[in-house]
């Protein structure tokens, strides 16, 4: 009898956990495509720490954002504290990117996954796998017209379903691969 009671409590706790997880999704989680700001992504959807190249880095929740597609799937990024990494990795690893859908960046497809990424001084955007191996490198663009750049943000780009990932004034455009 104790076993059944424990099992029932466990089932109730799991159901409550699932309910809480769903309740934390940004409002209107399905049906409408939207850009997500740091308050919607931050510590609500993004983990507080992330694994990359054998270490754990703290995520800067205030410098996060993303895109939620109509079916509820996400593309998110957040800046990380890369202070414990070697100089060679710190130069390339500024943010953590999580994409639940394949996206195209600069004509190259990035499969769903978790990646380290960064904007390089040579107007390049680099994406690396969790072992710090280069996966994708494309040209980035500088938006000198941007009035108030923030450390990291997502913005709509021209054309339906096109978005920009900004790091300061530098950005890359991407869209979901169908």
Looking at residue 7, its pLDDT comes to: 35
What CA–CA distance (Å, rounded) separates 174 from 56? Answer: 27
Give 20's contacts (C-beta < 8 A, 6+ positions apart): none
Q: What is the pLDDT of residues 160-171, one digit of tens each?
A: 999 999 999 999
Residue 30's pLDDT band (cuts 50, 70, 90): low
Tokens of 58: 């703290």
- % the chain with pLDDT above 70: 83
Is pLDDT above 50 for 45?
yes
Among 36, 109, 116, CA closest to 69? 36
DSSP state of 26: P
Q: What is the pLDDT of residues 104-125, one digit of tens each?
A: 999 999 999 999 999 999 999 9
Looking at residue 61, its pLDDT comes to: 97
Is pLDDT above 90 for 138?
yes
Is pLDDT above 90 for 29?
no
Q: Where are the domains of the chain?
A: 29-176
Q: Can you list the positions of beta strands (E) in the chain?
A: 34-36, 49-52, 55-68, 74-80, 95-99, 103-105, 108-110, 113-120, 124-128, 134-139, 141-142, 153-156, 162-167, 170-176
Name the 3-class secondary structure at 45.
Answer: helix
Q: Mean of the pLDDT values across residues 16-27?
A: 38
Looking at residue 31, its pLDDT comes to: 76
């Amino acid at each position: 009898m104790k076993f059944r009671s424990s099992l029932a409590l466990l089932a109730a706790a799991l159901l409550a956990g699932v309910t809480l997880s769903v309740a934390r999704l940004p409002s209107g989680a399905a049906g409408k495509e939207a850009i997500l700001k740091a308050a919607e992504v931050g510590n609500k959807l993004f983990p507080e720490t992330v694994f990359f190249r054998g270490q754990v880095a703290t995520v800067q929740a205030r410098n996060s954002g993303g895109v939620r597609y109509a079916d509820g799937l996400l593309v998110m990024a957040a800046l990380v504290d890369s202070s414990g990494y070697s100089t060679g990795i710190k130069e390339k690893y500024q943010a953590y990117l999580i994409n639940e859908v394949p996206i195209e960046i600069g004509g190259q497809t990035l499969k769903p996954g978790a990646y380290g990424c960064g904007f390089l001084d040579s107007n390049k955007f680099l994406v690396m796998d969790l072992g710090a191996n280069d996966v994708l490198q494309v040209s980035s663009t500088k938006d000198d017209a941007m009035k108030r750049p923030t450390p990291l943000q997502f913005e709509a780009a021209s054309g339906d379903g096109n978005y920009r990932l900004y790091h300061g004034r530098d950005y890359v455009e991407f869209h979901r691969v169908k």
